[in-house]
Structure 1
């Protein structure tokens, strides 16, 4: 067990024993990636998240919110929180200069959103599994019908996991200023190991288990019902694949950083650059998940089409009000016969008789 005194840890780019060209190259790369992330992913992700929340809130007001929709609603909130916390990377290639206590507070809310989004993904898969294979246990069946209970349990688990990893930050030098990252560099090595286990390993295995059960276990529902349930299955599957691709790289770098701490090494500038890229990929995954939900999930896709139709109608009324009125008047006139036409029709009938 390595000593819990982590005062020796520092970022390699801030040390004087590294090549200046490597530092400049690393700073340039991370600055460009940060600008691309802010310009593309943040704007689209926040816009998609706001639209999803608006659609679900409207459905909730009309009592049309299903079990999976409620889970996706909570997942959207956690992803939006992750995107907002990602604004801490705007200081790159420098880091935030805050106290240890403030850095720990930021890390707490970051990990709470991180664990919540992970566990809610497991709940999505579980919700689809129960919709096709209802639980036999009476207690689980009752809790499944009240999805808020399941969501509350998931958030409690996320809170407990967050408190565990927050305890691995230590409680020394709280008022001193340090370079802050959402995964603090001064954290104990146990921080990265526990976060990998609770935040990636266990949720990924749970989702893999339920996905295999969905594929292997035969369903007793009708074919039409299985076709209707294919769309939410595809949405959850796409979100899970995106998560594995982005968060696997992020968690591998967490474990590598823990290994460096165990060997009392600060790594190289290239290691620091790779860790920062993995962090940006994590935040980009939150934005991509919201876009996948917006365009693949049936409820959100329908709501988006309704919004687009309303916008098109409003723009059409502003741009061509006169033309629309003329067309409507023309159809009304053409649909109602004139007096001359009615007299001609009566004369024709009389002559024929």
Structure 2
């Protein structure tokens, strides 16, 4: 339990004693990098991600009201979209960078709970999507394989994991003000270990397993070709690859922060810089995933193309309006 006393921990940028001009210059450079990345994310990725997310919600709701039914894949993508929109709103906590959001430990823990809930939910909904596509290509022969998979399974599991994370943040000094990140610095080391294991380790293993079966197992004779299968569901596979790459970087830094805690070290400004970059990359992934769904998921892509086509047709019609020409009446002179 000695590692559960986290009162000693702090950010390197808040505990620096500069001994040379080079250290001051390095510190200023790292702060500038964080600030510029934050402004780039807020100015470019946040509006793009939110607009894409809102368009996806409108398209799915419109299609449901029109056809009164929603396919499993669309239902999973709807839950995935909502989770990512929540993560984008929570990412506004980086606006204060290179400084940190000031909040009580209790408020920081509440923010962390909602962040982890969206984080775990989006990860496991994505696994269910892969499983559904895998079972579509390789029809199951057992009753268990023919079962119905619901996003609520992911919601319940994500809630339990987020609640576990909230407990592992720690239960002391909730009333004190602190520098807050969505993954609190003052959390117990077990917090990062649980988050890495259930938020990246196990899901990544399942992703790799699904891809291995998909690529290595021979499909039934009546199944479409593998290239055709990828072209039919490109959005799911693209966001799987994007999430794996971005969350790999993020989770490596989470584990590195755990090793520093176990060594009773606050690290260096460079460590803090890379951790901040990893956090912003994670938020960029949430925005990019929504754009990929809008551009590559067939119902969304078809609706966008339909809207663009209608706009072009209206513009063409307005440009070809016939303007009536009145013939001037000439007065005839008396002869």
User: TM-score, normalised on structure 2?
Assistant: 0.90
- 2:141 equivalent in structure 1: 136
Of stretches 257-266 and 11-20 in structure 1, the one that deviates more from structure 2 is: 11-20
- 1:329 equivalent in structure 2: none
Q: C-alpha displacement at 1:2, in angstroms? A: 4.2
Q: Within 5 A, what are the aligned runs for 1:1-353?
A: 2-18=2-18, 19-61=23-65, 62-144=67-149, 150-220=150-220, 222=222, 229-316=229-316, 319-320=318-319, 322-323=321-322
Structure number having the greater helix percentage: 1
Q: Is the 8 A contact 2:137 2:223 kept in 1?
A: no
Unaligned runs of 5+ in 2: 325-335
Q: C-alpha displacement at 1:244, in angstroms? A: 1.6
Deviations 1:24-59, CA, capped at 9 Å, x for gaps: 111111000011111111111111111111111111
- 2:332 equivalent in structure 1: none
Q: Is the 8 A contact 2:230 2:237 kept in 1?
A: no
Deviations 1:187-225, CA, capped at 9 Å, x for gaps: 001111110000001001001111111122222253658
Distance across 2 between alignment mates of 1:183 and 1:240:
23
- Mark the CA change 1:90 to 1:314 in structure 2 (over 3 Å): closer, same or farther: farther
- Mark the CA change 1:230 to 1:221 in structure 2 (over 3 Å): closer, same or farther: farther
Q: C-alpha displacement at 1:231, in angstroms? A: 2.5
Q: Is the 8 A contact 1:83 1:283 kept in 2?
A: yes
Unaligned runs of 5+ in 1: 145-149, 327-353
Deviations 1:54-105, CA, capped at 9 Å, x for gaps: 1111111123522111111111111111111111100101111110000000
Report SS of the residue matched to 1:322. coil
Q: Is the 8 A contact 1:2 1:262 kept in 2?
A: no
Distance across 1 between alignment mates of 2:216 and 2:226:
14
Of stretches 274-283 and 130-139 in structure 1, the one that deviates more from structure 2 is: 130-139
Report SS of the residue matched to 2:7. coil
Report SS of the residue matched to 1:179. strand
User: TM-score, normalised on structure 1?
Assistant: 0.85
Report SS of the residue matched to 2:102. strand
Distance across 1 between alignment mates of 2:221 and 2:297:
21
- Mark the CA change 1:306 to 1:15 in structure 2 (over 3 Å): closer, same or farther: same
